[in-house]
Amino acid sequence: MDNGPGRGLAAVSTALLAMSRRLEVRDVLRTIVVSARELLDARYAALGVPDDHGGFAQFVVDGISEEQWRRIGPLPRQHGILAAMLHQDGAERLADVRKDPRFEGWPAAHPEMSDFLGRPIRDGEETLGALFLANKNSPGGFTDEDEELLALLAQHAAIALTNARLYERSRELTIAEERSRLAHELHDAVSQKLFSLRLTAQAAAALVDRDPARAKDELQQVAALAAEAADELRAAVTELRPAGLDEDGLVATLRDQVRVLDRAHTAHVTFTCAGIRALPATQEEALLRVAQEALHNALRHSGAERVEVVLARRGAGAALTVTDDGRGFDPGAVRAAGRHLGLVSMRDRASGAGGRLTVHSEPGTGTTIEMEVPGG
C-alpha cells in the first residue's frame, strides 16, 4: 500500500476503528462513506441500503453538497449499475461508467461521473448494502490496490453494520421492556387512586344528610384524588410515547416533550435552547434520556413548582441543565440508602456518550442536574 493521500496504514486503521466504534446504523453508514472516499482519494462516494420494494431504505453520500443532493431529488431505485452492485459477488471497476450499457436513469442534476468502483457489503448470503466511488482525484482512475482496499473496507463495514443493527434491536427490546414496566406502573398507580376515589366518594355520599360539612371535605378530597389520577395517567402516556429523535432532532423532540409535561402537571415546565448544532445520534439520545429522567424525578418526587430545562452550546458540544425549585435531597444520603433516583442510569448514559454528569442539590434548595457532551 502506498503512502499517497490518506493511504497510510495509520489512516486505514483509524477508519476501521471509527467504523467499529459507532453504535447507530446511520452513524456507521456515514463513517463508511466518508472513510472510503478519503482512503481511495475519490471525488464522490455513496452507500445504499436496499429495502424490500426495489428501492433504497437509506442512501448516504459524501462529496455532494446539500444543495446538489436536494436538486438530485428522490432516492434512487435499484436499477442499472446500482442493482448490479447489490446482486454480484465482487467489485465492479469501470474506466468510464457513462459508457456502460447499465448506466441509465441518472437525474440531470447529478454530478458528472467518469471512473467508477463499487462492490456489495455482505454478511454471509445477505446483502447489507452497496458501496460506490467515482472520479478518482489522481490520474489513471481506480487501481487494483483500490479494489483490494475497498474489499477490506467492505468486510469491516459488514461487521460494523451488523453490530449496529444488533445494538438497535437490543435497544428496541429495552424500550419494549420499559414500556411494559410503565404500563404496570400506570395500572398500579391509577388503580390505587381510583380505589381511593371510590371509597372517598362513598364516604361523602353517606355523610351528605347527617354531616354536610364533613361531606364537603370528602368531596374536596375526591376532586384532589381525581386530579392526581389524571396527572399519573398523562405522565405515563407521555413516557410511553416514542421520541421523535430520528425524524425531528433533539431540540424539537425535547421542546415537544416539555410542552406536554407542562400541560400534564401543575408545575410550570419551561424549555430554553441557545446555539445548538446537530450532534451525533448517540449523544442526542443520551441527552434526551437524561433530560427525561431528570424531569421525571423533578415532577414526581421533588414537589417543585417550577422546572427549567436549558440546552445550550458548550464549545463544540452541548450542555443540558434541568433545574427545579423542589425540596432537594442529599446525593450522598441517597447513595448510602441505595436509592439512586436514576442517578446511576444518568451517569452511565453521560459517560457512554463521552460526557459527564454533575448533580447539585441540598434539602430545601432544589436540584440542578447538568450533563455536558463534547462535539462530534
The tens place of each residue's pLDDT in the chain, 376 residues long, gives: 444 444 567 778 877 877 777 667 888 888 899 999 999 999 999 998 888 777 777 888 899 887 887 888 776 776 677 777 788 888 889 888 888 877 776 777 788 888 999 999 998 888 898 999 999 998 889 999 999 999 999 998 889 888 888 877 776 666 667 666 666 666 666 677 777 777 888 887 888 888 888 878 888 888 877 777 776 666 655 555 445 666 678 898 899 888 878 877 888 999 999 888 778 888 888 899 899 889 988 988 888 999 999 999 988 889 999 999 999 988 877 554 444 557 877 888 888 888 899 999 989 899 999 999 987 5
Residue 118, judged by CB atoms within 10 A of its CB (0-12, 13-18, 19+), counts as buried
Distance of CA 271 to the CA centre of its chain: 19
- Per DSSP (E only), the strands in 268-305 are 268-274
Predicted structure pTM score: 0.50
**Cβ atoms < 10 Å from Cβ of 198:** 12
Contacts of 237 by beta carbon, 8 Å cutoff, 6+ apart: none
Collapsed DSSP state (helix, strand, coil) of residue 106: coil
Give me the pLDDT at residue 6, please. Answer: 44
CB-CB contact of 82 with 48 (8 Å): yes
Q: What is the distance between the alpha carbons of residues 139 and 63, in angstroms, rounded to a whole number? A: 18
Give me the pLDDT at residue 295, please. Answer: 92
DSSP 324: E
Give me the pLDDT at residue 44, please. Answer: 93
- Dihedral (C-alpha) 283, 289, 295, 297: value to the nearest 10 degrees? -120
Report which of 326, 265, 266 is spatially closest to residue 298, judged by C-alpha positions: 326
Q: What is the distance between the alpha carbons of residues 5 and 79, in angstroms, rounded to a whole number? A: 33
Give me the pLDDT at residue 2, please. Answer: 47
Give me the pLDDT at residue 175, please. Answer: 60
Alpha helices in the chain (DSSP H): 9-21, 25-39, 66-72, 80-87, 144-207, 212-240, 245-264, 281-301, 331-336, 343-352
Rg (CA), the chain: 28
